[in-house]
Amino acid sequence: MFVAKVIGNVWATRKHRHLKNLKLLIVKAIDPLDNSKFIGDATLAVDKDIDAGPGDIVLVLDEGNSARKVLGDPKAPIRTAIVGVVDRLKYKKVKSEM
């Protein structure tokens, strides 16, 4: 799982029968310790009942079997799913040089 920011949404009329009634959001991973720093490439994630929107910091699951389980559809061709909205992140700084 990773922490990401929702940076957009996609709409599509023609889509796979198991993607119907699902929200498609573009997410981009962020540095959990610095919300303004993006990491890597943007990807398309599915949102079933989390109701996230552009600008939200979310928790993203990036594994097929778990995503299908979360969405409750064992035949959905989905790997990336949004599983939570991040309210707050607490951490302790660790010294990197030992």
Partner 1 sequence: MKQAKVIGRVFSSRQCCEMDKKTFLLIQPLDWENDEPDGEPIVAADTVGAGAGEKVFYVSAREAAVSFEDWSGDVLTNGPLPPVDAAIVGIKDGKNIIKTEKK
Interface residues toward partner 1, by CB under 8 A = 5, 7-16, 18-19, 24, 26, 28, 36-38, 41-46, 54-55, 64, 68, 75-80
CB of 52 to partner 1, least distance (A): 13
Nearest CB to partner 1, comparing residues 14 and 92: 14
What is the closest distance, in whole angstroms, from the C-beta atom of residue 40 to partner 1 in the complex? 11
Q: Closest by alpha carbon to 4, among 48, 39, 51?
A: 39
Question: Strand 57-62 to strand 34-47: parallel, antiparallel, or no bridges (unpaired)?
Answer: unpaired
CA atoms within 13 A on the CB side of 37: 4
Minimum CB distance to partner 1 smaller for 17 or for 92: 17
Distance in Å, CB of 3 to partner 1, minimum? 15
Of 10, 22, 33, 18, residue with least CA distance to 75 = 18
